[in-house]
Amino acid sequence: MKKFLIAFSFCLAGTNIFAQQAPATSMISTSEIGKAVPEALLVKQVEFDFGKIPQGKPVTHIFEVTNTGTSAFKLDNVQASCGCTTPQWDKDATIAPGANANITVGYNAASEGTFAKSITITYNGHQTRQIIIKGEVWKTPATSAPINESLNDLKN
C-alpha cells in the first residue's frame, strides 16, 4: 500500500507540473486579419488519379496554378520525386497577381503496379507547394493474341 501511495503522489505531482504550462497557440493580431499574403500559389487540383493505365503507355495531366498574392513571381523549379515523372512548365514566365499558369506532369508507366508520385513546386526561391499523381499500371500482354485457325472454317 505504501508503494501505491508513493507512485500515486508522483503521478499527481507530474500532472500538476504539466497542468501549469500554457498550451501553445498561434495568435493572430487583429491588424493581420484580412491582409493578403504577398506571394501565394493556389493549386486548383492538388492530386490527380490516372486510374488504370496500360504498361508502356505514357500519360500526362495538366495542373493549373494561380497567383493569389499581391506581387508577381516565377515558378523557380518543379521537381518530381523520381525519374519516371517529368514536369514541364514555362520557366521564364512571370505569373501576375490573379493570373494562371500550367504545369504538365507526365508519367512513363514502365513498371507494373500502383504508383503515387509527388511533385514539389518551388517559387520565389523558398516557398513550396506539393502536387501528387497516382494510379495503377496494368501489365500488357507480351505477345498479340494467337491466330485462330478455325476462322477459315467459318468463312467457307
List the Cα angle 147/149/151 in 5-degree steps: 100
Let me know if residue 27 belongs to a domain.
Answer: no
According to DSSP, the residues that pair with 122 across neighbouring strands are 77, 128
Total domains present in the chain: 1
Residue 101 inside a domain? The answer is yes
CB neighbour list of residue 113: distance below 8 Å, 6 or more residues apart: 136, 137
Query: 143 in a domain, yes or no?
Result: no
Within a domain: residue 150?
no
| Domain-embedded: residue 129 | yes
Separation between Cα atoms, residue 30 and residue 16, nearest integer Å: 33
Contact by Cβ (8 Å): 134, 46: no
What CATH number should be reported for the domain holding residue 96?
Answer: 2.60.40.10
117-151 residue pLDDT tens: 999 999 987 899 999 999 999 987 777 767 777 76
Q: Is 3 exposed, middle or buried (0-12, 13-18, 19+ CB in 10 A)?
A: exposed
Q: What is the pLDDT of residues 3-49, one digit of tens each?
A: 554 555 555 454 444 444 444 333 333 344 444 444 589 999 999 99
Q: Give a yes or no: residue 111 inside a domain.
A: yes
Instruction: Tell me, yes or no, whether 102 lies in a domain.
Output: yes
Enclosing domain of residue 114: 41-138
In a domain, 52, yes or no: yes
